[in-house]
Structure 1
Amino acid sequence: MTNIQRVAMLSLHTSPLEQPGSGDAGGMNVYVRSMALELAKTGIDVEIFTRAHAEDQAETEELAPGVIVRHVPAGPRQKVAKERLPELHDSLVDAVHAIQKHLSDEHFDVVHSHYWVSGIAGLRLAKTWKLPLVHTMHTMGKVKNLRAPAYGSVEPAIRIKGEQKIVDGATRLIANTRREAGELATHYGAPSGSIDIIPPGVNLEIFHPAPVDRASLDVSQNAFHLVFAGRIQRLKGPQILIEAAARLAKSRPDIPLKISILGSVSGAEELQLEPLVQSHGLHNTVSLHPAVQPATLATWLRSADVVVMPSFSESFGLVALEAQACGTPVLAANVGGLPQAVSHGRTGLLVDGHDPALWAAELEKLYDDAGLRQTLANGAAIHARAFGWNRTAMLTAQSYRNAVEDFGSPSH
């Protein structure tokens, strides 16, 4: 069996040290950080390369024994929109290569890039270092553009071309779900034999059922409490939840509705929720909160009767998994990886489309049927137990071994 000892992991556009739910940080940040920590527990050292974006950042930071984050100097030491990062590809590649050259006699066994910005850099670094490249898309430009008319943001041609180069040049691709694997094949022509399907995990030590004092969150005990957690952008659909709540407030004023939205504005097209909340007269119903740390997020998820995810696109939907691990049912859009994260009718409900009227109707059904909510809650906690990060790390390590063997084969 091929022995994997060290991995160069590229997360150039966003750091695993960032707070999920703010800026460009989201499920991918949780993914990179959590998987690196689990890989280290199996004996695989991981060095994560991410762009330095602040003057006071140390060159390196140890997350845990075997996991080092290296801040790569490229461009200004400040936040840069990920849409501008392709301009920095040359300097990012040169800086990562320069760091690698100074790591004495140490070498990597494989390069693992995350998201297309890192994938382009990964192609060049893997070629220079004569190593296999494993790539995880997380999201795909062509798939997002299929739904772009609904939320008004189109991915640029440079991304589409870049993703095609990555698919054509990577040794192996990791997809979160079967649906994502199918999209890689359909839209980019990826050979099915080069794709490993590996679902993300959830930190079961943090996200698990437990009693919660709603009063500590300023939520009344009798409220029908809905929680949305994620970046505040149209792609994630918090505006759909607010529109659905407005309909529900008019048609069912007897429902003691309370909505908590956790997250920060993100993306090139900023979505401001406060004016929308005010225009519908929901200022006493909807509370907007900044992104929170995982332990606090778990408390919010436990406090919810339902966690709502009206996303237009999700490669998997880690928040759905975290909510279910807390024993909370999820109402989610039937898109991307959410049908795998949420078992319809067993752990939550899936909604076809983004018509606020549909979402209002589903929320009304969940409010009226407390027995259904309890059944879904029980199933949710059981379902989530199968998604520990240790399993994700073990399958990823096997993907690395496959990549090394493929890379060394005569047909490569």
Structure 2
Amino acid sequence: YGHQIHLFSRSAPFDTWDQADGIIPHYIVPQRENSLHPAALHTAWTAGETQALLDQILKVIEIDGLDILHFHYADPFALVAAALKQRLGPATPKLVGTLHGTDVVIQGRDPHKGPQLASALRQADALTTVSINLAGLATYIFDLPALPRVIPNFVDLSRFHISSRHQDENNLKNGCSRKPRIVHISNFRPVKNPQRMAHIFMAIREQIDAELWLIGDGQEMAQVQAIFQQNDLEQRVRYCGLQPNVGPLLRQADLLLMTSQYESFCLAALEAMACGIPVLATHVGGLPEVVRHEETGYLFPIDDHAAAVAWAVQILSNRAQYEVIRQNAITHAQRFGEDHIVPMYESLYRRLLAERSPIVAHELSIAAYPTATVMV
């Protein structure tokens, strides 16, 4: 038996969802009425939107029944989950919450919203975070009674992998004559500090003739473009925009550059390593749990641009060293494959459901219980 998954969201995600895969989507704002930028992180839900989400969940519970309600990101979904528990009492599905980063370090520190989120999170049957670093921060900021369980992000190795089709396009792998290619992937929000990235790239170009690919879009893209225009570097930068599948682009790069103020994990770094691309990133948050310094990439102090430039020039100028780090990155990324990580969530679900009744515990022990899971 498999899982039946209902996906609740304000609007359709940028990526596509195939209902043939068992995912049943529920959106409260039709795509034609959605005015938000695809890269926007919308947490200022109206009371009407929050109520509409709650009503949709209640309707699915009534018609299909749900075993697990798993919300991703605390604000506003922890509040919705807590309202559901207040409404249904003992009949509430088991509540699982995964905290992802800014819901802790930004919303959690808000003097008004933080206490509300803390109270709501205590209603969950289980909390997880994507890194040890975030687990500690969440426990401290929300005054949680116990550390959340750490289940790291995972990578789809069928989409992010090395490919012989692209090997001739990668400069450092095969000694091609093209310029070294640096790539940056983000939503271009202030926390990603893309302006720092732009200045580091300019400093790298003072020593090697590199080019930059920017994947994504967001709030600070205009400022980044202005920096390159003012320094006459527009011809050395490619703007790829939002991409539903970044794997093929990553496989054509030589180095991923990330300059975030904070990262709870950094999925882009993991995806790059899976494609055989070393990572150069700030030494912040959960990044050291993903990137092994001097083994799968380099981590530099957040304000030490000189160190970032030195490591970039070093790895992009030394093919032998590059190949060692590239192979290490590929091997390390395999540890985060979905086949290793997804079962951690399934194990958590089964444990929670087994606590519900002896009958369910017996059914789970023979692996014959189909779990209906909701992801928000």
Judging changes above 3 Å, is the alpha-carbon distance between structure 1 residues 52 and 330 closer, same or farther for their aligned structure 2 residues? closer
Tell me how far 1:74 sits from its aligned partner.
9.3
- Report SS of the residue matched to 1:303: coil
Distance in 1 between the 2:151 and 2:8 partners? 22
Judging changes above 3 Å, is the alpha-carbon distance between structure 1 residues 273 and 408 closer, same or farther for their aligned structure 2 residues? farther
Distance in 2 between the 1:67 and 1:75 partners? 18
Q: Deviations over 1:62-101 (max 9, x none)?
A: 5334211111259993234877654424543344425643
| 1:337 has 2:286 as partner | yes
* Residue 287 of structure 1: aligned partner: 238
Q: Which amino acid aligns with 1:343?
A: R
Distance in 2 between the 1:375 and 1:169 partners? 47
Q: Which amino acid aligns with 1:320?
A: A
Tell me how far 1:243 sits from its aligned partner.
0.4
Q: Percent identity?
A: 24
Distance in 2 between the 1:53 and 1:92 partners? 16
Match of 2:223 among 256, 272, 276: 272
* Residue 160 of structure 1: aligned partner: 114
Tell me how far 1:263 sits from its aligned partner.
0.9
Judging changes above 3 Å, is the alpha-carbon distance between structure 1 residues 52 and 257 closer, same or farther for their aligned structure 2 residues? closer
For residues 235-384 of structure 1, the aligned pairs below 5 Å read 235-250=191-206, 252=207, 255-266=208-219, 271-294=222-245, 297-384=246-333
Q: Is the Cα contact below 8 Å between 2:8 and 2:53 reproduced in 1?
A: no
| 1:214 has 2:169 as partner | yes
Tell me how far 1:259 sits from its aligned partner.
0.9
Tell me how far 1:141 sits from its aligned partner.
4.6
Tell me how far 1:391 sits from its aligned partner.
2.5
Judging changes above 3 Å, is the alpha-carbon distance between structure 1 residues 244 and 322 closer, same or farther for their aligned structure 2 residues? same
Distance in 2 between the 1:74 and 1:363 partners? 44
Moved more, 331-340 or 96-105: 96-105
- Report SS of the residue matched to 1:228: strand
- Report SS of the residue matched to 1:284: helix
* Residue 182 of structure 1: aligned partner: 136
Q: Is the Cα contact below 8 Å between 1:234 and 1:271 reproduced in 2?
A: no
Q: Is the Cα contact below 8 Å between 2:107 and 2:113 reproduced in 1?
A: no
Judging changes above 3 Å, is the alpha-carbon distance between structure 1 residues 248 and 393 closer, same or farther for their aligned structure 2 residues? closer
Q: Which runs of 5+ in 1 are unaligned?
A: 1-41, 55-60, 147-154
| 1:93 has 2:51 as partner | yes
Q: Is the Cα contact below 8 Å between 2:96 and 2:126 reproduced in 1?
A: yes
Q: Which amino acid aligns with 1:135?
A: G
Distance in 1 between the 2:329 and 2:12 partners? 38
* Residue 150 of structure 1: aligned partner: none
Tell me how far 1:231 sits from its aligned partner.
1.1
Distance in 2 between the 1:180 and 1:376 partners? 27
Q: Deviations over 1:300-348 (max 9, x none)?
A: 2122221111111222111111111111111111112211111212111
Q: Is the Cα contact below 8 Å between 1:75 and 1:91 reproduced in 2?
A: no
Distance in 1 between the 2:113 and 2:5 partners? 27
Q: What's the TM-score, normalizing by structure 1?
A: 0.74
Q: Is the Cα contact below 8 Å between 1:307 and 1:320 reproduced in 2?
A: yes
For residues 128-167 of structure 1, the aligned pairs below 5 Å read 128-129=87-88, 130-141=92-103, 143-144=105-106, 156-167=110-121
* Residue 3 of structure 1: aligned partner: none
Q: Is the Cα contact below 8 Å between 1:141 and 1:160 reproduced in 2?
A: no
For residues 119-130 of structure 1, the aligned pairs below 5 Å read 119-129=78-88, 130=92
- Report SS of the residue matched to 1:111: strand
Q: Is the Cα contact below 8 Å between 2:256 and 2:278 reproduced in 1?
A: yes
Q: Deviations over 1:351-379 (max 9, x none)?
A: 12134333222212222332221111010
Q: Supply the RMSD in Å over aligned alpha carbons.
A: 3.2
Tell me how far 1:102 sits from its aligned partner.
6.1
Q: Which amino acid aligns with 1:171?
A: D
Distance in 2 between the 1:64 and 1:74 partners? 21
- Report SS of the residue matched to 1:241: helix
Judging changes above 3 Å, is the alpha-carbon distance between structure 1 residues 270 and 376 closer, same or farther for their aligned structure 2 residues? closer
Match of 1:64 among 13, 17, 20: 20
Task: Report the count of equivalent residues.
Answer: 345
Q: Which amino acid aligns with 2:329?
A: A
Judging changes above 3 Å, is the alpha-carbon distance between structure 1 residues 145 and 355 closer, same or farther for their aligned structure 2 residues? farther
